[in-house]
Structure 1
Amino acid sequence: MNRILACTASDFGKATTPLAIKEAIKSSEGRVILVNLAAENAPLYPEVTNGEMAAAFGADLLLLKGIDVQTLKIAGLGTIKHLSEVRKLTGTGIGVNLEIADGGSDFKRLTVESLAEVLNKGADFLSLTAYVKPEATPERIISDIKLTRASYDGFLMLNPVVSHGADLKLENLLAYVNAGVDMLTLPAPGAVAGVTEDKLAELILALRAAGALVSTTVGTSQEGTDKETIQAIALAAKRAGADVFELGDAGVAGMPVPTTIYNASIAIRGQRHTFVRMARSANR
C-alpha cells in the first residue's frame, strides 16, 4: 500500500487495507488528515453527502460516527449494504466508530453483535470512543479493546476522550496500546484545556516508542474556527509529533466546516499535497 498521501481510491477497500494502513500513515510523516462525520446527520448541502464534501476539501480518511452498523443509513445517500458505496463517492479510506458505553443503540456501541455486523460491511479501519461516562473506566476500555481484538486484526484506533489535560495519564495510554490499539487519538494542543504542545510531545514520544501512532484531534467545536487558529493548532500538533491531524464533527451539520479541513491541510502539507488530494478522482 502507498503512503496515505499517495493513495488512490483503489488502495482502499481491499482485504489487505486494514493490515497495511498503519504503515501507510506512518510513512506519511505527519501529513494525514482524518475527518469525523456524524453519519446520520442531515448533510450541509442536500446535493452531496458530507463525506463527498470532506473529501473534496482535502480529507484522506473519513470516520463515520453515530452510525447504526446494522442498517448503515448515511444521510444524503440512504440505507446502504456495504461501505464500498461510500468509498465510490469519496475515494477515501472509510472507518467506523463504535462507542464504549452501556446505554444507547446496541448497534452504535461496541457489543459482540455490533462488531460482527461492522466486520461484514467493508470498513478500512475501526475506531473505539470512550466518552466521559461513569462506565468508561480504563479497565472497561482495556476489556473492550481485547473484545475487539478477539475477532479483528486490522487497524484499530481509540479515542479515550478527556475533558482536561490533567486527565491524560501515560500509564493508561500505554495499557491501551499493550491491549492492542494501533493509534491513539489525543486532544490537539489548545483544543482541550491543559493540553500543551510540550505535554503532548512527551506523551507521543513514549507512545511511539511503544509502537503506537498518535492522532491529535480538534473536537471541541474549533472545527469551525478561523483560518489562523486552526493552522496554529495543526502546526503545534505536527511539532509535537502527531502522525494524523483529526477534525471532529462539531463544526457544522455533523462535520468540520469544509474550509477548516482545507486550511489545516495547507498548514501541515502545503498546496501540492492538498490540491492533489482535492483533485484526485474517486475512479482512480
Structure 2
Amino acid sequence: MRMFDLFYDDFFKMKRQDILSAISQSEGRTLMCETIISTFPLLDGVSNPETAAAFSADMITLNTFNFDAPFIFGYDDSKISPYHGIPEYVKSFEDIVRRNLSNENYIQDFKKIVGRFLGVNLEPVPENSTYPAGLRCSEKNLEKVKKLGFDYIVITANPNTGVTSQGITDGIRRARKILGEDFLIVAGKMHGAGAGNIYDQETIKNFVSAGADIILIPAPGTVPGFTVELVKGFVDSIHNEGALAMTTIGTSQEGSTESFIESVAQMSKMAGADVQHTGDAGVSGMTPPENILRLSITMRGRRHTYRRMARSSHR
C-alpha cells in the first residue's frame, strides 16, 4: 500500500519493511513533519503532532522529547490551564511526568490520538557534552524507544550539540544493535547544526552500512549552495547504496511563505526525494499548518492530501 492509502489501523500494524515499502510505492509523495513538544503548542489544548496530522502529515517526529521527563505540551496539560494560576499549573507537571514515567503505554496512548507513524529525535552527542541525558542517542534511551513503541528514530543534530558525522555513524550502529532489524532508522543532518560537514559520498555510504534506512539531506534552496543538481547527486548516491532519501526544510524557512514552500517541494521532487520533511522552527515549535498543506498539495496533489486528512480517525 502507498503511504497516503493507509487507514488509521495500518499505522499500528506496520514495521520497518512495511513502512519502507509504503514510502517506495508512494513515488516521492510521503510527508514527514517534525514538531517540538517541549513548548507551548501552536494551538492551546492541541499538541503540535495532532495539528500536523490534521494537515496531512504521514510521519511525525517528536523533537526535544525527554525520556527522563516525558511530557507533551497540548496533550499532557490539555485538562489544566495556566489561566487559573501559573504556580499551580507548573506544579502539576511533576505529577504528570511521574505518572508518564511509569506508563509503558504512554507513546502508544498518544499515537491513538495522533493516528500516524511517530518517531523521535535522538542526538549522538560527544561524551563530554552537557546536553540533557534524556535527549541523547544512548543505550538507555534506545531501550526506552523500543519499550514505548515508537515507529522510527531520527539520529541527527540540533544546533550547538557538537554532533559529528562519526558520531551519527556510531549512533546508527548502536541503534540497529539495540532496536533490531524490524525498526526504522533515519539519519543525517538537515543544516549546519552539530559540528563538521557530513555531505559527501563516503559519509552516505558509512551511514547506510551502519544500518540507516533513510538518509536525510537539506532540501534544495535551504542550505546555501544546495541546488537541485547537488541534491540529486546525493539522492542518487543514497539510492545506489540501497537506502531511501529524505529532503529536509530545517533552516527556519519552514515558516517562510507558501510560495517558497511550493518551490522547495517542486525542487525536492525533481531531485528524487522519497520523503519530504518540514521542520519545527516555523512558529511555536512546528511548521505553520498552511505551509504543511501547501507542501503536501504540491508534492501529491489535493486528492491524496485531502484523503490523508480525512483518514485521521478510526473506522
Equivalent position of 1:137 in the other structure: 164
Q: Is the 8 A contact 1:186 1:215 kept in 2?
A: yes
Matching residue within 108, 111, 114 for 1:84 = 108
Of residues 126-135 and 99-108 in structure 1, the stretch that sits farther from structure 2 once superposed is 126-135
Q: 1:266 to 1:134 in 2, by over 3 A?
A: closer
Equivalent position of 2:5 in the other structure: 6
Of residues 222-231 and 70-79 in structure 1, the stretch that sits farther from structure 2 once superposed is 70-79
Distance 2:197 2:107 in 1: 38
Equivalent pairs counted in the alignment come to: 282
1:256 aligned onto 2:255? no
* 1:167-198 Cα deviation digits (max 9, x unpaired): 52111111111111000111000011010000
Q: Is the 8 A contact 1:88 1:282 kept in 2?
A: no
| CA apart distance, 1:166 | 7.3
| CA apart distance, 1:70 | 3.8
Equivalent position of 1:283 in the other structure: 314
Q: Which amino acid aligns with 2:163?
A: A
1:240 aligned onto 2:271? yes
Equivalent position of 1:108 in the other structure: 135
Larger-gyration structure (1/2)? 2
Over the matched positions of the two proteins, sequence identity in percent amounts to: 34
Equivalent position of 2:18 in the other structure: 20
* 1:125-178 Cα deviation digits (max 9, x unpaired): 111113465842332222221111111121100123442997521111111111
Distance 1:125 1:267 in 2: 25
Residues 105-254 of structure 1 aligned to structure 2 (within 5 Å) = 105-131=132-158, 135-152=162-179, 153=181, 154-163=183-192, 168-254=199-285
* 1:32-78 Cα deviation digits (max 9, x unpaired): 11000111111111131111111111111100011012432111111
Q: Is the 8 A contact 2:188 2:217 kept in 1?
A: yes
Matching residue within 264, 270, 282 for 2:301 = 270
Equivalent position of 2:69 in the other structure: 71
Distance 2:157 2:257 in 1: 28
| CA apart distance, 1:9 | 1.8
* 1:17-44 Cα deviation digits (max 9, x unpaired): 2342111111110001100011111111
Q: 1:281 to 1:178 in 2, by over 3 A?
A: same
1:99 aligned onto 2:123? yes
SS of the residue aligned with 1:158? strand
Unaligned runs of 5+ in 2: 77-95
Q: What TM-score do you get using the length of structure 2 for normalisation?
A: 0.85
| CA apart distance, 1:11 | 1.1
Q: Is the 8 A contact 1:131 1:161 kept in 2?
A: no
Unaligned runs of 5+ in 1: none
Q: 1:166 to 1:49 in 2, by over 3 A?
A: closer
When you count helix as a share of all residues, which structure comes out higher? 2
| CA apart distance, 1:282 | 2.3
| CA apart distance, 1:247 | 0.4
SS of the residue aligned with 1:151? helix
Distance 1:245 1:17 in 2: 20
Distance 1:107 1:134 in 2: 14
Q: Is the 8 A contact 1:266 1:274 kept in 2?
A: yes
Distance 2:5 2:283 in 1: 29
Q: Is the 8 A contact 2:165 2:197 kept in 1?
A: no
Distance 2:74 2:18 in 1: 30
Distance 1:204 1:241 in 2: 6
Distance 1:157 1:106 in 2: 20
Equivalent position of 1:29 in the other structure: 27
Q: Is the 8 A contact 1:34 1:246 kept in 2?
A: yes
Q: Is the 8 A contact 1:11 1:17 kept in 2?
A: no
Distance 1:217 1:247 in 2: 6
Distance 1:143 1:120 in 2: 21
Q: 1:8 to 1:104 in 2, by over 3 A?
A: same
Q: Is the 8 A contact 1:183 1:212 kept in 2?
A: yes
Q: Is the 8 A contact 1:142 1:175 kept in 2?
A: yes
Q: Is the 8 A contact 1:40 1:73 kept in 2?
A: yes
Moved segments of 4+, more than 6 Å: none
